[in-house]
Structure 1
Amino acid sequence: MIRLPLAPRADWQDVARDMGFTFHHQDGQKYWEEAAYYRFTLDEVEQGIEAPSAELHQMCLALVEEAVGSEALMARLAIPDAMRDLVAASWRAGAPSLYGRFDFAFDGTGPAKLLEYNADTPTSIFETALFQWQWLEDRIAAGDLPADADQYNRLHDALRDRFAALFTPGSLVHFASDAAHVEDRQTVRYLEDVARQAKLDPAFVAVDRIGVDADGRFVDEEAVLIAALFKLYPWEDMLREPYARHLPGSATLFLEPAWKAILSNKGILPLLWQRHPGHPNLLPAAFADDPAGLASIGSRHVRKPLFSREGWDVELVAGADSAHGPAGGYGEEGHIVQAFAPLPVFGGLHAVVGSWIVGDDPVALSVREDDGPITRDLARYVPHAIVDEAGAAHPR
C-alpha cells in the first residue's frame, strides 16, 4: 500500500457533473482528491482486507445472536428497554441487511485493525461504487495506469444483485433521507437508481415527511403504505423518536434492519475483544466504566462515545498524537476506550481504509484521508488501484 502522486484528469469536474457527483467539494473544501491514488497489491487486498472482513462480519453476526437473547447486553449497548423486543424480533425473523462498512487502520505491513463498524448508515457509497471506478477506467484509457490495473470494487453490481434478491420485480421500495442534505440525498438518489436497475419501483420520501395512518402503519406524503424502506437515518435515533412506539406494529421492512442497532454501536468493540481476545484484527477495548478492562489497554488509547459518527466527540490520548474530534454532544449513553492504532501517514496525511460488506460478502475498498489522526466528516476521498509490480518500491 503506497500513495502515489498523479496529475488530476483535466475534465474530472465535468465528468463528476455528468455523473451526478455534486458534492465533490463541501463547504468550499475539496472532498474528492485525485492528485494522488493509493496503490495496493492483490495480496494486500485479498489477504489483508477481504479475508479479515469476511471473518469479522461473521463474528459480528454471532455477537448479534448472543445480544438479542441477553437483557444485560442490550442494556450495555444502550438499546432502549421498550425497543429491545423489536431489535430481537427483527433478528429472529431474518430481516435482511443491505450493506455496511468496516473502517481499518492498515498500511499493508501488518494485520488490519478494526476501528469501528459503520453497519447502519454509511455514506461515500456513490463515490466508491461509481466515481472511483470511472477514475480507474479513465486512467487506464489515458495510459496513466497499466492495462491490467484493477480495483477491489464490485460494490455497484453487488448492491444491484442484493436488491434483486430481496424483492420481486416491480416491488415498490421507498427511500428516505434528509432532503436538504446534499450528500445524503445524492447517496439515496444513487441507491434509487440501483434499485431501478434491479427492476424495482423506487420512490423517495423525505424522512421528516413520513406519516402514520390510523392503523399505525407508516405512509408517505401521498398516504401510500411504506411496505419497504431504505432509510439513511440511524437506528439509535429512530428508537428514541416519538414515533418509535409505532415501529413494532408497522409491518415495514427496514433497510437496514433494527438488529443493526447492535452492530452500529461502538459497544461491540469491547464485546468482540472479550469474546476473541488477541485476535489479530481486533484492538484491546473496554467500556469506560470497566476498570479491569481498562487496565489492559495502556496509556495510548482512544475514547469514543457509543453512538458518535465522523469523529464527533472522539478523544485520542497518545502523547504527541493526542487530538480531539469536533464537539457534537455525543456520549450521554456511555463511552468505550480502545487501544490506539495509528493510521498510516503518507505525506503528512492520515489514511483510513474502508471495507464494504453487501449482504454477508466483502465486496469493495475505499480510502479517505485527513490532515489529523481523527477521521472527520470532511476527510478527503482518494481512489485506489490494484497494481502488482514486482520489486517496485516508493517512499511514503
Structure 2
Amino acid sequence: MRRNAGRPRDGWEKTIESQGLAYHRTAHPEGLSRPYWDESVHYSFTMAEVLDLERQVEELHEMCLAAVEHVIATGRYADFAIPGWAAPAVAASWRRRDPHVYGRFDLRYDGTGPAKLLEYNADTPTSLVESSLVQWFWLKDVHPGDDQWNSLHERLVGRWAELRLPTGPAHFAWTNMDETGEEAMTLGYLQETAEQAGLDTVAIAMEDLGWDEAGGRFVDLEHRVVRTLCKLYPWEWAVADPFGPRAVAGQVSMTWIEPLWKMLLSNKALLAVLWEMYPGHPNLLPAHLDGPRGLDSYIVKPLLGREGAGMSVVTPGGSLRTPGEYGAEGHVYQEFRPLPDFGGGRPVLGAWVVGDEAAGLGIRETAGLITDDSSSFVPHRVAS
C-alpha cells in the first residue's frame, strides 16, 4: 500500500460532475483549501493485498451476521437503544431474512497487518457514486493499464436481479432535509443499477410518501401502493418519526432496502458485541459499552453518530472532542489506534459489501485524527 502524488486532469471538476459527483462542492464545508474529490494523490495496492483484504472483509461480514443472531437470541436491544415496541419487528425481520443489498466497512489499514474495524455503515452508506463510478473513470483516464478493487456496479446490478421483490415499481426515496444533493444522487445511482437489472422504478422524496388509511399501506403521489422502498433515511430516525409505527408494523407487506434488522449493524454497539463474541480477533479493536475498562488510549463514539461528530479521543497525552450533538442514546468505548500516516495523509478504507461478498474500495483521507465531513475522497489503483 503506497500513497502516490499525481497531476489532476484538466477540467476534472466538470468531468466528475458529468459522472454523477455533482455534490463535490456542496458536501464539503466551505473555506477548505482541499477539495472533496482529490485526485492529486491516490493509493496503490498489490493484488495480494486486495485479495487478503477481500477475505478479511467477508469474514467480518459473517461475524456481524452472527452478532445479529446473538443480539436477537439474547434480547439485547436496550444496548442498541432500540425501543422495546420495535424490537419484535426487528427480530421478525431477521428471522424472515428480509433482503439486504449493500453496506460499507470503515477500516484502519496500513498495509503491514490485519485491517481493524472502525464501524460498519450497514443501513445508509454513502460515497457510493465516487467509489463505484468516478474513481473507475479516473483509473481509465490516468492509469489505463492498471486495475482497481471495484466490482460495485456489476455486483449491484446482479444483486437487484436476484432479489425476489414484490410486484410493482420499486420506489427510491431521498429526503429533502439533505441540501447537498448527495443523497439524491446516491439514490439515483442505486435506481439506475436496479433499472439495469430489469426493475421498474420510481423516484420520490420521503416527505412525499403518503398513507392510505383504508388500505393500511404507504402510497406515492400517484396513489400507487409502495411495495418496495429503497431509502437513505436511517431506521433510527424512522422509528422515532410519527410514521415509524406504521413502517415497523408494515414490514410483512412491504420490502425495505435496507431491512429493519440492519439497525443492529449500523449501530456502534455492534463493536462491543463483536469484541465479546470474538475477543482478540485480529480484525477487531477492544470495545466496551460500560466504559474504557482500563484502556490507556480510547475513543468514545456515540452509538448513532455520523461523520465523526460528537466523538472524544482520550490518550495519556491529552484529549480531543469533535463538535456534535450525538450521544443521547449512549456510547461505545473503543481502543484508539491513530490512523496510519502516509506523508501527512491519514486514510480510512471504506470496504464495500454487496449481498454477502466484498465488492470494492473507497478511501477517505484526513490530516487529523478523526475522519469527518472535511475529509477528502481519494482514488486508488491496483498496480499491474
Which TM bucket (shorter chain)?
Answer: over 0.9
Cα distance change, pair 345–268 in 1 and its aligned pair in 2 (3 A)? same
**Letter of the structure 1 residue corresponding to residue 190 of structure 2:** L
Match of 2:265 in 1: 263
Match of 1:276 among 271, 275, 278: 278
The residue matched to 2:147 in structure 1 has which SS?
coil
Kindly, what percent of the aligned residue pairs are identical?
A: 44
Match of 1:310 in 2: 307
Match of 2:84 in 1: 81
Deviation at residue 170 of structure 1 after TM alignment: 8.2
Match of 2:154 in 1: 157
Counterpart-to-counterpart distance in 2, 1:17 and 1:334: 39
Alignment of 1:148-297 (within 5 A): 149-167=146-164, 171-179=168-176, 180-181=178-179, 182-214=181-213, 215-250=215-250, 251-287=253-289, 289-290=290-291, 294-296=292-294
Match of 1:19 in 2: 19
**Letter of the structure 2 residue corresponding to residue 362 of structure 1:** A
Deviations 1:99-152 (A, max 9, x none): 0000011010111110000110010001100000000011134xxxxx2x1100
Counterpart-to-counterpart distance in 1, 2:318 and 2:156: 38
Deviations 1:200-223 (A, max 9, x none): 111111111212111321111222
Counterpart-to-counterpart distance in 2, 1:150 and 1:322: 41
**Letter of the structure 1 residue corresponding to residue 200 of structure 2:** D
Give the conservation status (yes or no) of the 8 Å contact 2:366–2:376. Answer: yes
Give the conservation status (yes or no) of the 8 Å contact 2:166–2:255. Answer: no
Match of 1:107 among 101, 105, 110: 110
Give the conservation status (yes or no) of the 8 Å contact 2:106–2:121. Answer: yes
Counterpart-to-counterpart distance in 2, 1:362 and 1:38: 19
Give the conservation status (yes or no) of the 8 Å contact 2:267–2:303. Answer: yes
**Letter of the structure 2 residue corresponding to residue 204 of structure 1:** A
Counterpart-to-counterpart distance in 2, 1:55 and 1:176: 31
Deviations 1:293-347 (A, max 9, x none): x325x121000011001101011113558432221x1111111100012111122
Deviation at residue 24 of structure 1 after TM alignment: 2.1
Cα distance change, pair 169–237 in 1 and its aligned pair in 2 (3 A)? closer
- Of stretches 249-258 and 99-108 in structure 1, the one that deviates more from structure 2 is 249-258
Match of 1:50 in 2: 54
Cα distance change, pair 322–44 in 1 and its aligned pair in 2 (3 A)? farther
Gaps of 5+ in 2: none
Counterpart-to-counterpart distance in 1, 2:14 and 2:288: 48
- Of stretches 81-90 and 344-353 in structure 1, the one that deviates more from structure 2 is 344-353
Counterpart-to-counterpart distance in 1, 2:374 and 2:226: 33
Counterpart-to-counterpart distance in 2, 1:184 and 1:222: 23
Match of 1:125 in 2: 128
Match of 2:45 in 1: 40
- Of stretches 242-251 and 344-353 in structure 1, the one that deviates more from structure 2 is 242-251
Counterpart-to-counterpart distance in 1, 2:344 and 2:162: 44
**Letter of the structure 2 residue corresponding to residue 254 of structure 1:** W
Do structure 1's residue 324 and structure 2's residue 329 form an aligned pair? no
Deviation at residue 236 of structure 1 after TM alignment: 1.1
**Letter of the structure 1 residue corresponding to residue 61 of structure 2:** H
Do structure 1's residue 360 and structure 2's residue 356 form an aligned pair? yes
**Letter of the structure 2 residue corresponding to residue 243 of structure 1:** F
Gaps of 5+ in 1: 142-146, 389-396
Counterpart-to-counterpart distance in 1, 2:338 and 2:87: 36
- Of stretches 333-342 and 212-221 in structure 1, the one that deviates more from structure 2 is 212-221
Counterpart-to-counterpart distance in 2, 1:379 and 1:270: 26
The residue matched to 1:68 in structure 2 has which SS?
helix
The residue matched to 1:203 in structure 2 has which SS?
strand
Deviation at residue 78 of structure 1 after TM alignment: 1.1
Match of 1:61 among 61, 65, 71: 65
TM-score normalised by L of structure 2: 0.94
TM-score normalised by L of structure 1: 0.91
Deviations 1:6-54 (A, max 9, x none): 000113223223223211223445110000110111111111x211110
Cα distance change, pair 170–9 in 1 and its aligned pair in 2 (3 A)? farther
Deviations 1:75-106 (A, max 9, x none): 11111100001111111111011100000110
Give the conservation status (yes or no) of the 8 Å contact 1:168–1:200. Answer: no
Q: CA RMSD in A?
A: 1.7
